[in-house]
Amino acid sequence: MPALACCVDAAVAPPGYAFAGDSSLPAPPFSGVPPATTAVTTDSSHWSPSLSSDLYRIDAWGGPYFTVNSSGNVSVRPHGSATLPHQEIDLLKIVKKVSDPKPDCGLGLQLPLIVRLPDVLKNRLESLQGAFDLAIQSHDYGSHYQGVFPVKCNQDRFVVEDIVRFGSPFRFGLEAGSKPELLLAMSCLCKGNPEALLICNGFKDFEYISLALFARKLALNTVIVLEQEEELDVVIDLSKKLGVRPVIGARAKLKTKHSGHFGSTSGEKGKFGLTTTQILRVVKKLDQLGLLDCFQLLHFHIGSQIPSTALLADGVSEAAQIYCELVRLGAHMKFIDIGGGLGIDYDGSKSSDSEISVSYSLEEYAAAVVRAVRNVCDRKSVKHPVICSESGRALVSHHSVMIFEAISSSACDDVPPMSAFALQYFIEGLTEEARADYRNLSAAAIRGEYEACLTYADQLKQRCIDQFKEGSLGIEQLATVDGLCDMVSKAIGASDPVRTYHVNLSVFTSIPDFWGIGQTFPIVPIHRLDQRPAVRGILSDLTCDSDGKIDKFIGGESSLPLHELEGNGGASGGGQKYYLGMFLGGAYQEALGGVHNLFGGPSVVRVSQSDGPHSFAVTLAVPGPSCSDVLRVMQHEPELMFETLKHRAEEYGQGDDGGMASAAVATSLARSFHNMPYLVAASSCCLTAMNNHGLYYCSEDDYVVVADSAGGGGGEEDQWSYCCA
């Protein structure tokens, strides 16, 4: 007898049970029998952290900066491959330190959380510089490498300042593409190496060019890169008025084109740059004005995430030919700026066929660039130029980790079991056609015809839906057919095993590239990796938007291996919290993120490696934007909103407990304005009121809070700045 038939008894109904109107109807198929699907075992006796590392490909995309420690937690190796075992930083310990209440020696910050790791940033910069130094030495190149960081990748003050500070020994500079970026670059480079380049890209107006020329007056090594031919006239006119001799570069539109999304700005039809005809006109005009010696830099960009060194070498060789021709025409060329494009391996596949991977190492990238420039220049007998690159993504992606909580989970097929009474009530309301479907379903179950079972179950469900829409079937009966069809699917293994994990996050705010361009990032539980993940799930965020979910993961997976939530999560169920980390997201995500549903940005902490007992020190902590902060972004006035609600509370609270109730409402409202928009555990005390100007600084030794957020007593006149005790 087929396996499904054991679930069916066509002759005997359950005791005390009768089928209304038709005794020939069999007992319900699959009644009282567990699903036939094989459950994923949660036995961890044969599981290990190394198996989790393989499962999530952590060593592939995370090396040499991320690993799984013996406790089953993700650890940071802040100095890359040179990190000693005692220097590794446990991410779970960071989360505990940051999120624990202040009375428990924590910082009392709310998740989601960005963890910045300046040691990783320093290592990335040194690794990039080292790769080019090695290539220059190996290929007997006659000049040096001098990088710049494009601040559009991450404009955070501390990130930019760190790059200038870490890069000072290497003459590392900055690239700006707008007036605000130029202002911050000028300010930061005042503390940098005087030879560091300040590359001025992007569309320019009178004010932008004035700022760039002022930067030269301030002895900053500024190069104005022409994106449009008409910018040259403004540069010439203003330089005469300001008495500044400019250094000029030009962005060339190469014939070489990088395919895919990240190559959309490359090729002859790219958004930026000058054609060869336009470059020749620039040379002629500068020559006529006696300014040809000001033309010193050639810039190009064939797109981000260049997949292979073959494409890279092709573009660099073409640009080097243009460079040599400019030298021949009399320009005093010194720099060739290869732009961005140095990719990172988001999925660990090391593939040139993927937009989220690359097939080369830092060393191979640098060698391809140096070799291509040297070969062209040697053939033309041209002095080797200084090589400059704008490798933003490769510099900052690894140094930032986004950590967030899974607060609950639900399965798509989570339907209550069907009772005998419910089945009897259900059958009584069926049409004859629906009863025929029910008979066919039972017969197919006895014969073991699984596909037929699904077909008849679907037909039965649709007929019941039609009856419900007509008003001849009650909602209880409709729920019963859902339970019946669910039981069928489970028994034959056709139910969707993928769960939805609800995460305390906004995709639109914190991972906008996933929503906007389908960019995938490594997402991994940061703890419990010594346990076998028992289920697969997708991630659904807090926003009221169907796009607010993550259902595409590295490796082309449509779901992620996850662990069962203990007590169904932290924020709603009161159980053990389950933390996930999004890695390699340090470039672009923060500046691109919006305030969809008025969810603001995350809290941010800066964590450095320390010789203390926990191997780390939180040297900066910034609470995420409050509800008031994000309301102001949309031109609302939170103080006035609070006063309106406070007066309303007083109006409707007169005569109750001498006004105590209305005062409590006002206090609660004030707290809500000051807290972050994200969910807070029900068992927790409401967070201390703070805005995104609240900065916590602490030494590496004792984490002493030096500057606290705005706060106050909580009296009637000070409710707006209320802090919970």
Task: Give the containing element (helix H, strand E) for 667.
Answer: helix 660-674
Q: Which of 603, 604, 596 is nearest to 630 (CA)?
A: 596
- Collect all residues with Cβ–Cβ distance below 8 Å to 567 and sequence separation of at least 6: 573, 574, 575, 576
Buried b or exposed e, range 327-365, using 16+ CB within 10 angstroms: bebebebbbbbbbbbbbbbbbbbeebebbbbbbbebebb
DSSP 448: T
- Collect all residues with Cβ–Cβ distance below 8 Å to 670 and sequence separation of at least 6: 642, 689, 719, 720, 721, 722
Q: Which of 324, 464, 544, 685 is catalytic?
A: 544
- Collect all residues with Cβ–Cβ distance below 8 Å to 277 and sequence separation of at least 6: none
Q: How far is CA 365 from the centre of its chain?
A: 25
Buried b or exposed e, range 676-705, using 16+ CB within 10 angstroms: bbbbbbeeeeebbbbbbebebebeeeebee
Task: Match 């939180």 to its residue by tokens.
Answer: 618
Task: Match 């060393």 to its residue by tokens.
Answer: 363
DSSP assignment of 350-379: --SS-TT--S--HHHHHHHHHHHHHHHHHH
CA 382 to CA 404: how far, in whole Å? 54
* 544 in active site: yes
Tokens representing 686 are 């409401």
Q: Which of 405, 414, 688 is nearest to 574 (CA)?
A: 405
Residue 218, CA distances (Å) to 187, 188, 268, 709 in order: 10, 13, 36, 36
**Are 342 and 380 a contacting pair, CB within 8 Å?**
no
CA 91 to CA 551: how far, in whole Å? 24
Helices marked H in 100-199:
118-138, 157-167, 179-189
Compute the C-alpha angle 205/207/212, nearest 5°: 95
CA 560 to CA 589: how far, in whole Å? 22
The alpha carbon torsion through 39, 41, 42, 45 (nearest 10 deg) reads 170
CA 694 to CA 288: how far, in whole Å? 56
Among all residues, which ones are annotated catalytic? 544
